[in-house]
Structure 1
Amino acid sequence: MKYVNADEVFPKELVIEMQKYAQGQIVYISKLEGNHKKWGEKSGNRQYLKQRNQAIQEEFQSGASIVELSDRYFLSVYSIKKIVYTKIQS
């Protein structure tokens, strides 16, 4: 989140009105409902983890053991179990 000076964004009349309520304070203005992104959507991490988990499931179905997958993907046995026994969401 980037700090922006209100004088640079809002009309002068609105800044004067806001100063009546929050003079000299930092105010957060949230996004409109429906404009929020889920975790990892902007960076691509969500898609990366989905693809990784699908690959883990495919390898498990092809006969790889949970311990092998744990070593290969540097994840705990517990994490691998959660991935292979959970259906991947679309």
Structure 2
Amino acid sequence: MSHVKAKEVLPEELLKEIQKYVQGENLYIPKPKEFYQKWGACSGARKSIAERNAAIRRSFKKGVSIDEFVEEYFLSSETIKKIVYSK
């Protein structure tokens, strides 16, 4: 998260109004909900995990055991079961 000086981006009137409530403190202004992104959307982690899970499901259908996945992916057997038995 980067820091931006309020003085550089806010109109003077708005800055003075905010200063009535907060002075010399860091203030976090959240994004509007319509701009939220799901976890991993920017980094590609979500896509990477989805691809890994699809590969696990394909291999499971071909007969690879849950214990083999535990060793290969360093995931718990319960996590592997959730992946292979989910739709």
Task: Please give the TM-score of this superposition, normalised by the length of structure 1.
Answer: 0.89
Cα distance in 2 between the residues matched to 1:23 and 1:69: 54
Matching residue of 1:3: 3
Unaligned runs of 5+ in 2: none
**SS of residue in 1 equivalent to 2:80:** helix
Bigger drift between 15-24 and 55-64 goes to 15-24
Distance 1:4 1:82 in 2: 43
1:25-78 deviation line (CA, Å, top 9, x unaligned): 221111112100011101100000000000000000011111111112221212
Following TM superposition, the consecutive aligned residue runs of length 4 or more in structure 1 with deviations greater than 6 angstroms are: none
Which sections of structure 1, spanning at least 5 residues, go unmatched? none
Superposed counterparts of 1:72-87, under 5 Å: 72-87=72-87
How many positions carry a matched residue from both structures? Answer: 87
In 1: Cα distance, 2:82 partner to 2:17 partner: 53
Identify which range, 18-27 or 44-53, moves more after superposition.
18-27
Alignment correspondent of 1:42? 42
Q: Percentage identity across aligned positions?
A: 49
Alpha-carbon offset, residue 81 of structure 1: 0.9
**RMSD of aligned Cα (Å):** 1.0
**AA aligned opposite 2:35:** N
Residue type of the alignment partner of 2:55: A
* TM-score under structure 2 length normalisation: 0.92
